[in-house]
């Protein structure tokens, strides 16, 4: 049975009803990797367990980010790493999964088709269990910024989690694209989860010399040639590129340790700036606070909205 979910609106912590697994090629490592999702107790959070590295545990948290070149990589104090976590993290955010153990037998989450859709399907197969414990969210109290040349990102106060992204590439296959998505009412699944990662044909050789993109192919990424899309099946959305950028933001920002109540806006932002803006947020104790989520009483002719409960740091 397909699980009903609305991750942004869930007010109780969530985990899986059953374990579920997959396998595939790592986008950057090129390795065949098996991964499985397992239920976890309330307040566990999201943790990766490297089954090929003596069961090393790596918490999926912004404090553990060690690399942001083309993907998000986390590591524990012993240097055991897991990379390309953003698409799986986005699926967990979009479905409201707070507590989960992810077993993985390699250094990278498998790319699957380059989107979050396969991970959402896994979660739906397993089923979602609400755990009777209030979710703790991060409420943004004042704007924080990060910038790198012409690229910049901001987190600002808002009643709901909203992401705006704009991108601008000097190729007719992309040009300028912009979109805003409010992560409510199933928007992650309906608007974002099928958007695939993308790259440029002329960059492949250099990336592989850097040890990146060794597993990239037309099966797990959109590949852009000189002036056209090389994938035979074309695009899933007219603006798939900016939708994928928003998907990446959702995954990266879920490393905050819970849902965010705030508005993210990024211009040419990537993993590095997504993480920098999180670091800047948590570096300023006056810019945020923990809060719990609750639904108010339903009023006639009005849709219930999320409210903030009283909170302390």
Known catalytic residues?
271
Helix, strand or coil, per DSSP, at residue 23: strand
Q: Which residues of 7-34 are buried (b: 16+ CB within 10 A; e: fewer)?
A: bbbbbbbbbbeeebebebbbbbbbeebe
- Report helix angle 86-95 to 240-253, nearest 10: 80
Say how far apart CA 309 and CA 69 lie, in whole Å: 37
- Report helix angle 271-283 to 240-253, nearest 10: 40
Written as one string, the DSSP assignment of 135-195 is PEEEEE-S-EEEEETTEEEEEE--SS-EEEEEEEESSTTTEEEEEEEE--TTHIIIIITTP
Question: What's the number of CA atoms in the CB half-sphere (13 Å) around residue 180?
Answer: 8
Task: Choose among 263, 268, 260, 311: nearest CA to 290.
Answer: 311
Say how far apart CA 93 and CA 157 lie, in whole Å: 19
């Amino acid at each position: 049975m397909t699980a009903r979910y609305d991750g942004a609106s869930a007010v109780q912590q969530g985990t899986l009803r059953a374990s579920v697994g997959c396998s595939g090629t790592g986008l950057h490592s090129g390795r065949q990797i098996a991964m499985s999702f397992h239920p976890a107790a309330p307040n566990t959070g999201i943790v990766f367990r490297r089954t090929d590295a003596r069961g090393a545990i790596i918490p999926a948290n912004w404090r553990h980010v060690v690399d942001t070149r083309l993907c998000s990589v986390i590591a524990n104090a012993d240097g055991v790493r897991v990379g390309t976590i953003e698409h799986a993290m986005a699926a967990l955010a979009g479905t409201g999964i707070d507590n989960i153990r992810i077993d993985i037998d390699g250094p990278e989450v498998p790319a699957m088709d380059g989107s979050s859709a396969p991970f959402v399907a896994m979660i739906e197969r397993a089923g979602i269990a609400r755990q009777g414990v209030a979710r703790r969210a991060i409420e943004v109290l004042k704007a924080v910024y990060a910038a790198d040349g012409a690229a910049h990102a901001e987190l600002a106060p808002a009643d709901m989690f909203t992401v705006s992204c704009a991108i601008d590439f000097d190729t007719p296959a992309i040009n300028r694209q912009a979109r805003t998505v409010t992560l409510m009412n199933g928007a992650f699944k309906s608007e974002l989860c099928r958007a695939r990662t993308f790259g440029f044909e002329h960059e492949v050789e250099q990336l592989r010399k850097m040890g990146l993109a060794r597993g990239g192919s037309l099966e797990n990424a959109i590949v852009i040639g000189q002036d056209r899309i090389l994938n035979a099946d074309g695009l899933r959305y007219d603006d798939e590129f900016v939708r994928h950028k928003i998907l990446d933001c959702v995954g990266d920002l879920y490393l905050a340790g819970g849902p965010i109540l705030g508005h993210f806006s990024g211009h040419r932002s990537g993993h590095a700036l997504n993480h920098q803006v999180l670091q800047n947020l948590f570096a300023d104790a006056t810019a945020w606070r923990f809060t719990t989520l609750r639904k108010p009483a339903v009023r006639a002719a009005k849709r219930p909205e999320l409210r903030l409960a009283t909170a302390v740091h």
